[in-house]
Amino acid sequence: MNFSIRLKQLRQKNKMTQSDLAKVLGLKPTAISNYESNRNEPSFDKLIALSKYFDVTCDYLLGISDSYLPVGGEVLDRDIVEFFDLYQKLTPENVAELLKYTEYLLYKQNYQENHKENNSRKYL
């Protein structure tokens, strides 16, 4: 994925218009339109400002890496990044449902682990 696509996705994810983002960067809205249509590229200063504003790495913005941010010196692995990409496409209602389902899965996992431990203790 290239810079123009990533920029547009981040802007839309943050519910911003091109004008909104242009104001943040001190640019005209046409500059953002040109970035997103791949007609122009930002200066290094603007690229850094974008990465700081959206809280992602420059490598992510440029399409060099699929990782949003390094975590504790390590880069997020691909499975986590793919999960985040899917998560970002969910509606707020579906995010709430996903959280409930995740809590259920953790409850089920803990129950199974505790049940397994209790059964193994019976035979000791």
CATH architecture of 3-76: Orthogonal Bundle (1.10)
Long-range contacts of 88-97 (CB under 8 A, 24+ apart): 88/13
Q: Which sequence spans correspond to the domains of the chain?
A: 3-76, 90-124
pLDDT value, residue 84: 80
Mean pLDDT by 10 residues, the chain (124 residues): 89 93 95 95 95 88 74 60 82 94 95 79 60
pLDDT value, residue 41:
94
pLDDT, residue 122, reads 61
Q: Residue 1: what pLDDT?
A: 65
**Residue 2 has what pLDDT?**
87
Looking at residue 89, its pLDDT comes to 86
d(CA 43, CA 35): 11
